[in-house]
Chains A and B, each alone.
Chain A
Amino acid sequence: MLNPKPSLKTTLHALAYLAPLLIITVLFTVWPLLSAVRLSLATRSNFYTGRVTAYGWANFGALWHDPDFHRAVQHTLLFTLGVVPASVLLALGVALLLNRLPHCARFFQTLYFLPFVTSTVAVSLVWGWLFQADHGVVNGLIHTNIDWLNDPHYSLLALILLCLWQSLGFNILLFLAGLNHIDDRYLLVAQLNGATAWQRFWHVTWPLLTPTVILITVNALITNFKVFDQVYALFHGSAGPANADLTLTYYLYQKFYIENQTGLAAASGLVLFGLVLLITGLAGTYFHHWTRWLRKDAR
């Protein structure tokens, strides 16, 4: 038994430990994935029995010609562009301010992280109140009279502000961990050599922090591509005024749950999956080059 070489016996033994996880994973992840691909290619099927009578690319073709799907992709990209860069930069800023703060760092960290632990539905409902046109706090603070949740020109911005506020804490936490990994001695040497604070940040901290920045950005991109709960709660089960907040996941939900168009929904889900794979692949390539560059540097 102590022999580290695998055999039929050790494999069966290990399978006993793996079985619970594997069974559930196969039933609710692997099989559904295959099933989703099949559904997306089904052009004629029975919603209740799931029996498919004809296959083809018609669902993807329908997506290509569906103005609502175009809107969903457009909004998702716009929304992600609105949230992610701002969230990453702000989180980096706060993390730098918090890093090695003499007092109360823990206290501030707790406050910034609060939105992450609270239910998305709950905070979205609170923000729905803040965004009220007549007596809302947002209008009260910036002295405007915008109908945030009913004006299609502003409703996506409202969603962006909510998600930005909500995502900050998590990103700050990851940045703080990344900053902690940077060896103090680099910064000390730079300081002894007369580098200014900005030079120390730009030539020492930033290059060493780049992998963390990429990791946080990728994570934020993927999370925001899938935005749903906030839309549903902020606009009370609709996609915003004149569909102005129709996102990819909301489109999937509409097609599947409201309109029973399973094939279209599955196809749009696969498009979402494609987007996630693309971003992950790009990040993977970057990390591959980065580690190779590190190794070359070490030699």
Chain B
Amino acid sequence: MKKLLIGGRYLLLALGAVAMLLPFVWMVVISLQPAATTLTLPTFAWSSALHWENYRHAWRLAPFAQYYGNSLLVTATTTGGQLFTSILAAFAFSHLHFYGRRLLFRGLIALTMIPGELLLIPNFITLTHLHWINTYAALIVPWLTSIFAMFALRQAFLTHPQSLYYAARLEGASDWQYLWHVLVPLNRPVITAVGLLQAIGSWNAFMWPLIVTNSPRLRTLPVGLMTFTSQTGTNYPLLMAATVFVVVPLLILYLALQKYIVAGITRANLKG
């Protein structure tokens, strides 16, 4: 009876897993079909010859190398910036005493409720005034902070005993030295987790890059992929090959660093 129950659990989980995986499998299968013929084929009748050249054609049809470069640049700089500004602020909120600390902290947390879609309108107007539309600055500067990251890091910094801080200070270390030589190394797993979550968000961001850029030179991968659809029309094998380009880097990152990502999400959402 007990064995049967366990077996049932595995069966249900496997069925669910197939449903989760099916779109990914389909993406790869279609990307290897002869280009421009899939619309005439019955659903499950595939050609057995694998057309790897679809990837080469798709890569040539749009400036995907440029999109990759843009996505990498934007993701790296925004994630780095977010970590830097959040680490500094998290240190102030966890270790320093100053007027208005509680009020300021609560105010910042309250700001996280504002939908980004609402802020997009005035931010777009600000960037227009600054002549930043269609520049890297528009893609990067507004995203250099994250209150979510600051909150998660502050929670982590608070778990270290104050006595450690006071001991370091008595030994003559400055706040700056304590932060970068003691606190940051001690919290490397949390910082990695938060950084990865921010990087995933940045890599996949769509609405903001769509609105503030309109030249191919500045498109990030998701926006580039979206504009690619109008070029390929119903040529699904090429479109799916391009989709594989966009999806693969994050899949590799996820499979390699899964434990940090999982820890980051559970830590940030179920504490406090």
Contact of A25 among B44, B98, B108, B236 (CB under 8 A): B108
Question: Is B88 a contact of A18 with CB atoms below 8 Å?
Answer: yes
Asked, given contacts A126-B27, A257-B211, whether A25 binds B265 with beta carbons under 8 Å apart, the answer is: no
A269 within 8 A of B: yes
B66 within 8 A of A: no
Asked, given contacts A129-B26, A130-B23, whether A21 binds B85 with beta carbons under 8 Å apart, the answer is: yes
Majority-rule SS of B interface residues: helix
Stretch in B14-22, B47-55, B56-64, B181-189 with 4+ CB within 8 Å of A: B14-22
Looking at the assembled complex, report how far the CB atom of A193 sits from the nearest CB atom of chain B, in whole angstroms: 20
Question: Is B12 a contact of A110 with CB atoms below 8 Å?
Answer: no
Question: Is B270 a contact of A178 with CB atoms below 8 Å?
Answer: yes
B207 within 8 A of A: yes
Question: Is B144 a contact of A24 with CB atoms below 8 Å?
Answer: yes
Residue interface mask B221-255, A partner, CB < 8 A = 1? 11101100110000010011001001100110111
Instruction: Give the number of residues in B that approach A within 8 Å (Cβ atoms).
Output: 96
Question: Is B265 a contact of A173 with CB atoms below 8 Å?
Answer: yes
Residue interface mask B117-157, A partner, CB < 8 A = 1? 11111111110110000000000011011010010000000
- CB nearest neighbor in A for B224: A121
Across-interface contacts of B200 in A (CB, < 8 A): 117
Asked, given contacts A17-B96, A20-B145, whether A174 binds B270 with beta carbons under 8 Å apart, the answer is: yes
B92 within 8 A of A: yes
B9 within 8 A of A: yes
Across-interface contacts of B30 in A (CB, < 8 A): 129
| Complex Cα spacing A50 to B203, Å | 31
| Complex Cα spacing A177 to B122, Å | 38
Stretch in A3-11, A59-67, A149-157, A238-246 with 4+ CB within 8 Å of B: A3-11
B190 within 8 A of A: no
A48 within 8 A of B: yes
Question: Is B115 a contact of A33 with CB atoms below 8 Å?
Answer: no
A-B contact pairs, 15 of them (CB 8 A): A6-B101, A18-B89, A101-B9, A101-B13, A121-B223, A125-B229, A130-B23, A137-B43, A140-B43, A165-B19, A173-B266, A228-B117, A252-B121, A253-B211, A257-B211
Point out residues on B near A: beta carbons under 8 Å: 6, 9-10, 12-13, 16-17, 19-24, 26-27, 30, 38-39, 41-44, 84-86, 88-89, 91-92, 96-101, 104, 108, 111, 113-126, 128-129, 141-142, 144-145, 147, 150, 166, 169-170, 175, 200, 203-204, 206-207, 210-211, 221-223, 225-226, 229-230, 236, 239-240, 243, 246-247, 250-251, 253-255, 258, 261-262, 265-266, 269-270
Point out residues on A near B: beta carbons under 8 Å: 1-2, 4-6, 8, 10-11, 13-15, 17-18, 20-22, 24-25, 27-33, 35-36, 39, 48, 50, 94, 97-98, 101-102, 104, 108-115, 117-123, 125-127, 129-130, 134-137, 139-140, 165, 168-170, 173-174, 176-178, 181, 212, 215, 219, 225-226, 228-229, 232-233, 236-237, 249, 252-253, 256-257, 262, 265-266, 269-270, 272-273, 276-277, 280
Ranked 7 nearest A-B pairs via Cβ: A269-B118, A35-B122, A140-B43, A32-B122, A177-B266, A14-B98, A11-B98
